[in-house]
Amino acid sequence: METLSFAFPAGLPASRRAQVGCVGSGDLEVLLEPGQAGSLNIQVVTSVNGSAERWRHLFERMFAGANPPALNVDIHDFGATPGVVRLRLEQALEEVSDV
């Protein structure tokens, strides 16, 4: 078990919260809540040790320079592949985005 934290510049706070995903092998649970304007904070609790670099690369590809909404993101990971992580994050971001 490992807890990792990441922060990225962001825009205005998201307007609602969202919870997607599922507790279970190869999957993850993602909870998004509106954050402080300007910052995207991500906390990952993962069952896979030594994966900090992998998460950082994934978040950088998704969020660096993308002006994401300001959010507090809580992730509980149960060994999801990067493809699953990305899909779940996109699913969650779609739910908090203004329609």
Partner 1 sequence: MPAIDFQPHAHDLLWGMSAAQLDAGAPDWAREVLAAAQPVVVRRGPAPAGQVAVGVRGRGREQRYASCMPLAAISRRVAPEQLTEAGAGQDAWPALRALAWLAPQLDALALSWGVTGGAGYQLATGVAVLHANSDLDLLLRAPQPLERTVAAELLALLDRALCRVDLQVETPAGAIALREWAGPAPQVLLKTNHGPLLVGDPWQEVAA
Using CB under 8 A as the binding rule, whether residue 88 contacts partner 1 is answered as: yes
Using CB under 8 A as the binding rule, whether residue 52 contacts partner 1 is answered as: no
The correct pick among 12, 15, 16, 22 for binding partner 1 (CB under 8 A) is 22
Nearest CA to 89 out of 25, 42, 23, 50 is that of 42
Q: Are 93 and 35 in contact (CB under 8 A)?
A: no
Q: Which residues contact 42 (CB under 8 A, 6 or more apart)?
A: 5, 6, 7, 8, 59, 73, 75
- Select 65 or 83, whichever has its Cβ closest to partner 1: 83
For the bound state, the minimum distance from the C-beta of residue 47 to partner 1, rounded and expressed in Å, comes to: 6
Binding track, positions 27-46, relative to partner 1; x by CB under 8 A: x-------------------
Judged by CB under 8 A, how many residues of this single chain contact partner 1?
Answer: 19
Phi, psi dihedral angles at 54 (to 5 degrees): -60, -45
